[in-house]
Amino acid sequence: MRKISILLFITLLFTTCKPKFAVHTTFYFWRTVYKNQIAETTILNDFKSKSIYVRIMDVDLNAITQEPAPVSPITFDDALPKQTDIIPVVYLVNNIFNNLTEAQSRLLVSRIAKFVNAKVNQAGKSNYKEIQIDCDWTKNTRDKYFSFLKQFQSNPLLKGKEVSVTLRLHQVRNLVSSGIPPVKKVMLMCYNMGNLRKYGTQNSILDMQEMQTYLKNELDKYPLKMDVALPLFSWAVVFRKEKYAGISRQINKKKLSDKKLFKRRGNTILYDLLIDYPQAGLKNGDVIRWEEISVDDLIATSKFLSRYLKPEERNLVFYHLDNDLLKIFKHDDLQKVIDNF
């Protein structure tokens, strides 16, 4: 009986325990001006973050020339902390690839490389090891985007740099039509997974049911090394006559509690605006859907991912680094999420 118990224990031990791999925690920095904030630098130090992902710019079509151009590039009022490496991130709007020729693609690669290198120097860094391209490519733009990535990696200005790309849920599930980007590493974006523009009470930032539908049977099949990004943000989605009207930066949770301005619809996340609110560009009758993420949401997500991700060393990146968000998501809260990996 004792031998049977020991054998059973050993069997359970090896069937229930997954090997643990190192998890490197850091953040995205997504604002347009970098200033060295004590709370933000402290959290990087607390998690021993060796690097930080910094959005350098968006690239979209210029309305007049219809050529790709930088949008809202970052400026550095302060240098990044000496002990923290920079991983520059460039967001490419998908439609720039619709009519992009091979020659235009090479020119775009060169311009991005020069721009990024200048911004890295402005951040107080002489070099960087990795650069990330963020693009929600589709079946129609896939070939031109992948060609761009190959050109990007062969550019002399980027010699020795690892190129990683972001990956959405639909690109994991629809592997055949989405294709596999010609890089060695991807960042799985575990947010913005619902239909932001659809009127209703759904949370478009994070939806566990959507995540399970898209990832449960697909994650361990994905052939590239995979880092993970999780959300820390919230936002106010505006609807006018049940049509999407944008995201309001002027509305926060405290503002929604003002009963002179808003009336909540029961226990839902919908709020009716009771009067015109010109300061925020809103009109009487507009509906606000307040979407936010809780620590419990992050813990549930991390537990789900830990069951289905291939066991390997990875970066875990929170979106995004911000003083106000760090007042909501404390160090110990984030550590609980990290521990699940």
User: Cα(69)–Cα(71) distance, rounded to whole angstroms?
Assistant: 7
Residue 19: its pLDDT value, please?
65
328 touches 278 (CB < 8 A):
no
Separate counts of helices (H) and strands (E) for the chain: 11, 16
Structural domains of the chain, with CATH: 20-233+297-339 (3.20.20.80), 235-291 (no CATH)
Instruction: Give residue 20's pLDDT.
Output: 75
> Residue 194 has what pLDDT?
87
What pLDDT does residue 12 have? 45
Write the pLDDT tens digit of every residue in 152-174.
Answer: 999 999 999 999 999 999 999 99
- pLDDT attached to residue 10: 46
Tell me which residues of the chain have a pLDDT lower than 50: 7-16
As beta bridge partners, residue 189 has 229
Check residue 17 and give its pLDDT.
55
Give me the pLDDT at residue 14, please: 45
- Residue 21 has a pLDDT of 86
Element at 56 (helix H, strand E): strand 51-61
Instruction: Identify the pLDDT of residue 2.
Output: 53
- Per residue in 87-118, pLDDT tens? 999 999 999 999 999 999 999 999 999 999 99
